[in-house]
Amino acid sequence: MATLATAPAAGANQTCRDSGNNHFFAGSTTGGNPFTFGAQATISNPDPNGGQLCTTGNPYKFSSVWVMIEAYDYAHGVSEGYVQAGYIRLPGFATPHFYSEYSSDGGNTFTRRSDVPIANKSSFGFKVQYDANAGVERMYTDGSLYASTPWSPVQIFNVPFTEEYLAETHDRGDDMFGTPGSHVSQTNEQVQGPSSWVNPPPGNHAYPFGWRYHDNLTSANSVDIWTDPMS
């Protein structure tokens, strides 16, 4: 499961955090589902130039929004691995790009693709889907196959998957996509079960983090995400 960064105390200096080890998240998750094999959602595109990045501190910055399944070991508080698809803005990107990412060791090493700028559209469909015939996870962006894992998650992971519909930044000064007046939304959230795609099970909830990064569960399978301006 995504690791929660600690919010600064009131009156703390709200500037770029000079560290790539503190991640900030907003969105929704069920927090564990033993029958999850994939996840999908429609993600809006409120601002094609969104995801403002820090300009000081650690050079590894990003703003992203995605659907993901993660093999999270709740008993020991560690991630075994994950598979995700969405869109991302990295340093050097004038606009966000479609991206995929997967890891078989909890993110210590990972494979990312982010070479296609997003289209000028109001929303996109993203999906992480288990292909039982091939025994791999497929990552789809805007309806097209974008990447596949070289391994079978069913075989290499020892714990059930959690489905997550989140946005992420690396630093305090990085903005998530969405503003107070124009939220980015994840709608039509669904989980790939053993035989079909279904709505997230009861327990889907907003991710518990505030400060500049906000989320609001607008229905059982939809969440809005936005970032307050720096003060």
DSSP line for 166-189: EEEESSTTPPPS-BTTB-EEEEEE
CB within 8 Å of 10: residues ≥ 6 apart: none
Q: Is the pTM of this model over 0.85?
A: yes
Residue 59 has what pLDDT? 65
Give residue-wise pLDDT tens across range 59-99: 677 899 999 999 988 888 889 999 999 999 988 888 899 99
Asked whether residue 184 carries a pLDDT value surpassing 90, the answer given is: yes
157 near 80, Cβ under 8 Å? yes
